[in-house]
């Protein structure tokens, strides 16, 4: 039975900071249309996102930071959140060598992408990277039950296992976050390669991955070696 390779998206295939900067600019424009200081909201939102991109409530905190009273948030936040979620970046450039490495993986093993987040946002990101044709299976965990089934919850990886027709322990996960990508692999008895890049590059290696590298191409090379070794028996 072959080994399937499962790749993360954000900060694994491309720098998520590029998407966040683009989306924050869109929110700044929408804030200007709402009568706020769009440049100030843009700057405050970028600061909030830099402090932690998946903490939630970033737009609320950005508005408070520029002096918007808490009593006004209920009317202002929803259209700004809509501007963020509907934003379609024109282009997100993959990390150097990522496209070639992904192409090699796609030719050698069953391949899938497992990513957390708003489904519309994640679809826009995949399209903007231009990597969609190399990812025959894309599972967005939020479609399986919302934020509560985001990695390291095993639901997403089990869904990938079903889509690829492989037992979960026959998967190899490549991702940047130990607490999500490595942990979700461990939850189903699979291997993981951690890539030290992006927002969580300095995060401690806990839980420990099967291997730790600095770039996605290096991770792909290890994955290809393992695929070949297992195929040879």
pLDDT score recorded for residue 80: 97
CB atoms within 10 A of CB 158: 18
- Contact partners, residue 190, CB within 8 Å, separation at least 6: 157, 168, 169, 170, 171, 172, 173
pLDDT score recorded for residue 31: 98
pLDDT band at 46 (very low <50, low <70, confident <90, very high): very high
Mean pLDDT of the chain: 96
For 195-215, the pLDDT digits (tens) are: 999 999 999 999 999 999 999
Residue 54 has pLDDT above 80, yes or no: no
3-class DSSP state of 49: helix
pLDDT score recorded for residue 2: 82
Which has more pLDDT, 232 or 81? 81
pLDDT score recorded for residue 56: 80
Q: Is 117 left (phi over 0), alpha (psi -120 to 50) or beta?
A: left
pTM (predicted TM-score): 0.93
For 160-191, the pLDDT digits (tens) are: 999 999 999 999 999 999 999 999 999 999 99
CB atoms within 10 A of CB 75: 9
Mean per-residue pLDDT, 113-129: 96
Mean per-residue pLDDT, 44-52: 91
Compute the Cα dihedral for 65, 70, 71, 72 and give only its sign.
positive
Mean per-residue pLDDT, 83-109: 96
Mean per-residue pLDDT, 51-74: 92
**Residues above pLDDT 70, as percent of the chain:** 100
3-class DSSP state of 11: coil
Q: Are 13 and 105 in contact (CB under 8 A)?
A: no
DSSP notation for 136-185: S-EEEGGGGTGGGG-TTSTHHHHHHHHHHTS-GGGEEEEES-IIIIIHHH
Give the separation between CA 23 and CA 114, rounded to whole angstroms: 22
């Amino acid at each position: 039975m072959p080994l399937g390779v499962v790749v993360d998206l954000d900060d694994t295939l491309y720098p998520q900071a590029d998407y966040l900067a683009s989306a924050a600019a869109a929110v700044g424009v929408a804030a200007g249309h709402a009568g706020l200081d769009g440049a100030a909201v843009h700057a405050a939102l970028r600061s909030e996102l830099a402090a932690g991109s998946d903490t939630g409530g970033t737009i609320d905190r950005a508005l408070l930071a520029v002096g918007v009273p808490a009593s006004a948030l209920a009317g202002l936040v929803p259209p700004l959140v809509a501007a963020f979620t509907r934003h379609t970046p024109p282009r997100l450039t993959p990390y150097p060598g990522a496209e070639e490495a992904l192409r090699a993986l796609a030719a050698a093993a069953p391949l899938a992408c497992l990513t957390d987040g708003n489904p519309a946002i994640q679809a826009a990101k995949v399209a903007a990277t231009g990597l969609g044709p190399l990812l025959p299976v894309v599972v967005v965990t939020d479609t399986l039950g919302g934020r509560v089934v985001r990695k390291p919850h095993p639901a997403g990886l089990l869904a990938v296992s079903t889509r690829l027709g492989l037992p979960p322990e026959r998967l190899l996960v490549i991702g940047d976050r130990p607490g999500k990508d490595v942990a979700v692999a461990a939850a189903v008895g699979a291997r993981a390669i951690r890539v030290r890049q992006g927002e969580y590059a300095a995060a401690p290696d806990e839980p420990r991955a099967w291997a730790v590298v600095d770039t996605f191409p290096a991770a792909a090379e290890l994955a290809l070696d393992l695929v070949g070794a297992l195929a040879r028996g």
